[in-house]
Structure formats: structure tokens, C-alpha cells
Structure 1
Amino acid sequence: MDESESAASKPNVVSQFFKRLGDFFFQIYQKCLDNLTPHTAVRWAATSLIAVLYGLRVFLLKGWYIVTYALGIYLLNLFIAFLTPKMDPVMQEDIDAEDGPSLPTRASEEFRPFIRRLPEFKFWHSATKAFLIAMFCTFFDALNIPVFWPILVMYFIILFTITMKRQIKHMIKYRYLPFTHGKTVYKGKDDSGKVITAMPQEM
């Protein structure tokens, strides 16, 4: 009985060890992401460097065009989600039509910043992981499928043009901009008149 119980407890000990080890590395990874959150320029500069290295590798090796095409489609989807508002304007119009027009009840409702469907940090995180995974795929010859790459380039250009044209029409139709820098401040006219003071009346 003791031997069977000890043998059954060994897998539990091993699984708990790897679980704790995974949690430890995940906490370190999450802490690094938290530290990088405010450094937007540094993050995108590092991602741009990875993208350049990946482009040079594909150009010099002259292969893995299918991987590059899949990477481009994925990045295009991320970019569209980055430009799209979280609340669909079509659904918002239906809600306003049902509830009727309403005035803002609080001062904070005067300014509504653009809330993205995909936040900037998640966009950067997903794009960076995509470049790293694509770079990793270039080390496997099985993924180097021979293909006539100009056709893929033409397909991607057509898809990019159609998608961006649709997105721009959507922005024009519902009158929103995907970039906001704060509340608009209106400045009144400068008062250039003279100050008139009341003269004391004589008794």
C-alpha cells in the first residue's frame, strides 16, 4: 500500500513543480510587459527592428513567402481592429433610435475619446509575437513552400486597398477619427477693450 501511494504521489509532485515553474516564468514575463507599457516609442522601435531583421532574412534566403503572406494578412487584421471603434456605430445608432435623443447629464459626457477595439498595447504585443513566430518558422525547411511570390504580393496589395477603402468609408460615414489627443479646448476672443471704472458720485 505504501509503495503504491508513493508511486501515485510522484506524478502529482512533478506536475506541481512544472506548474509552479510555469507560474514563476509567467509572472516574470508579465512584470516585463508591465514595465514596458509606458515606453511606447521604445516598444515600437524594437518591433520595427525585428521586422527589418525578418525582412532581411526572407530577402537573403529567398523563401518562406507563404509565411510572410500569412504574417501580412494577420498584421492587416490587427491594424483594422486598431482603427475600428470598440462600439460599432451601427449598433449605437440603433440604441439611440430606440431610446431617443438624450442630453448629457454629466460634464464628463461632453468628451468621448476614441476607444479602440484593439488597444495599442495589445496591437504591439500581438504584432511582436507574430514577427517572432514568423522568424521561428524560417528555420524549418518544411514551411518553405515554393510559390510564385509576385502573385502573393499582388493579392496582398489588392486586399489591403479594398480593406482600407472600406475602413475609410466607414470613418467618413460615421464621422470618427481613430486618433484623439485629448479634449478640444475652445479659446474665446481676446478682450482688447479698456476697463471702465465707475467714478464716485459727489455728495
Structure 2
Amino acid sequence: MEASPMDADYSSSLPFAKWRSDTSRHFQHFLDRSTPHPVGRWLGTLAIASIYALRCYLIQGFYIVSYGLGIYLLNLLIGFLSPVVDPEMEGLDGASLPTRGSDEFKPFIRRLPEFKFWYSITKAFCVAFVMTFFSVFDVPVFWPILLFYWVVLFFLTMKRQIQHMIKYKYVPFSRGKQKYTGKKASGSSTLPKD
């Protein structure tokens, strides 16, 4: 029986598939081990961002890449600050955030969880850093205009997001698990005596 050319291609790609599977498994193991360490993860991302910023500063270029990175990071931030169920769109079906004190407590669930937020930011900085090694991405542009436009876009977007947060009374940040303190004492015992 003769070996077909398809069998030869399959057998030559088998070591690559095994290497890819092993690499993917090791990388996922690294991610799983880093999950309970948010401070270390964010410090690592800060180091990567600093290296990227230093490279762009020393080269004096790649402003379009930085602008695209800034727009992408702004998009991620909006997802991080937004609830998974938008009360503006889904308010009629009963799955909205509580707006009155008598409503049932529903915890804030982000559209983009913290881990995915961190992972996406880190990947974005790594991709942008790799792009700085290719001159095709170094488009000559007057960078102060891009910076001004990004700052205006940031403030307008954040203003809209904060107004949304105020309107629907949700805060996307918490300081850990809330503890029940019991019933508060009556108001007459807390008044100072003259």
C-alpha cells in the first residue's frame, strides 16, 4: 500500500499540533495561576505599558498605533464600567438593576470582568509593541491633534458613562463583600444631650 501525499502532510504537521497544544496548555496554566493575584497582574501590565511608552518615546513615532491602542483601551474601559444587562435597554423585562430602596438587591455584574479586562489590555500592549518593529505602521501624522481628539473623546465618553451610572444608580466598584451590621439604633439615642 502506497502512502498518499495527504498522509505525509498530516504526519509532518503532527509535531506542530502537539507543540501548539502543549504551549496552549502551559499558557493557560500560567493564566490560571495568575488569577488570584490581581496586584501582580496589573503591575506586570504596567511594566509592559511602560516599555511600550518608552519605545514610542525613543523612536519618536508610531502615533497612529498609540491612538488606535488608546481607542481600544477606552472601549475596554466602557465595557468594564457597564453592567452586563443595560437598564436602559432591558428595563422592561424585570432584569434591571434596583433603582429604589425597596427593590431586591442585585449585585453589579460587569459586561467585561476584571480578568478579561486585564488580559485584553495586556494583549493590546503586546500587539502594539510588536507593531512598533514594522515601519509600515509608522504613518507620519501631527500627533498633538490625535492626542487632543483622544482626550476630548475620553471626556465625552466618560461624561456619558457617569451620567448613565447616576441615572440608574449603580456603582461599578466595591470594596469586597458587604457585612451585615444588624439594625441601627433609634435616632433619639444618637442625639447629643445639651
Question: By the TM > 0.5 criterion, same fold?
Answer: yes
Cα RMSD after superposing both structures: 2.1
Contact 1:51 1:131 in 2 (8 A): yes
| Displacement of 1:118 | 0.3
Alignment map for 1:36-115 (pairs within 5 Å):
36-96=34-94, 111-115=105-109
CA–CA distance in 1 between the matches of 2:152 and 2:117?
23
CA distance in 2: counterparts of 1:72 and 1:56, whole angstroms: 16
The reply on whether 1:132 has 2:126 as its aligned counterpart is yes
Q: Residue 177 of structure 2 corresponds to which residue in structure 1?
A: 182
Residue type at the aligned position of 1:21 = W
SS in 2 for 1:87: coil
* CA apart distance, 1:81: 0.2
* Whole-angstrom CA distance in 1 between matches of 2:136 and 2:23: 31
For the 8 Å contact 1:67–1:143, the answer to whether it is kept is yes
- Counterpart among 146, 162, 166 of residue 160 in structure 2: 166
Q: Which runs of 5+ in 1 are unaligned?
A: 98-103, 192-203
Where in structure 1 do 4 or more consecutive aligned residues deviate above 2 Å?
5-8, 109-112, 180-191
Aligned length: 179
**Partner SS, residue 117 of structure 1:** coil
> 1 CA distance for matches of 2:131 and 2:69?
11
CA distance, structure 2, for counterparts of residue 93 and residue 25 of structure 1: 44
**1:173: Cα distance to partner?**
0.6
Matching residue of 1:147: 141
TM-score where L is the length of structure 2: 0.85
TM-fit CA distance, 1:185 = 2.5
Percent of counterpart pairs with the same letter? 49
Structure 2 gap ranges (5+) = 96-101, 187-194
Contact 1:113 1:182 in 2 (8 A): no
C-alpha displacement of 1:188? 3.2
Per the normalisation by structure 1, the TM-score is 0.82
Counterparts of residues 9-48 of structure 1 (less than 5 Å): 9-48=7-46
Contact 1:111/1:183 (CA < 8 Å) preserved in 2? no
Tell me how far 1:113 sits from its aligned partner.
1.8
> Larger radius of gyration, structure 1 or 2?
1
Paired position in structure 1 for 2:99: none
SS at match of 1:38: coil
